[in-house]
Amino acid sequence: MANKKRFFDAAIINVVLDSIEYAGRKIVAKELSRVIRKNGYVFIYEPSINDEYYRQFVKNKENPVFICLDDGIKREIFTPESLLKPFKKFFKIVRIEERNYNGKMFGKNYKRSWIYCILKS
């Protein structure tokens, strides 16, 4: 099945891209464009640059990458533009929004902020 194309109706990316460098995200986008059927969907949920919990670890605002203290993984937080950049060549944006809520992390309250996207092939 490795060479088959367009055999999925949809894909969900749930807090995965934040730990993949840009070159890897381009590969993810290209591969999804290969396996998603025409008029299929990609749903993306990733942390926003406005998330207070993650933002506190970022040292360079121009490059919002950090090592997450709770799991030791190198992560990136996104603007809508930076998140969708590798996907724009392959998919149409159906919807993008930033959702906020109050959440507690390690006993402290933070304004959490996440980007939700729906893309169509």
Q: Break the chain into its structural domains and give their ranges.
A: 8-120
pLDDT at 88 over 90: yes
Q: What's residue 69's pLDDT? A: 82
Asked whether the predicted pLDDT for residue 50 surpasses 60, the reply is: yes
Would you say 66 and 54 are in contact if contact means Cβ atoms under 8 Å apart? yes
In this prediction the pTM is: 0.90
* HEC letters along 34-71: HHEEEEEEEEEEEEECCCHHHHCCCCCCCCCEEECCCC
Kindly state the average pLDDT of the residues 59-71: 89
Q: Determine the Cα–Cα distance for residues 64 and 1; give it in Å rounded to an integer.
A: 38
Q: Residue 2 pLDDT more than 60? A: no
Q: Find the mean pLDDT for residues 39-60.
A: 96
- Per the prediction, the chain carries an average pLDDT of 94
Scan for tokens 């605002």, then name that residue. 61
Q: What is the CATH number of domain 8-120?
A: 3.40.50.150
Mean per-residue pLDDT for 100-108? 94
Distance CA 75, CA 16 (A): 9
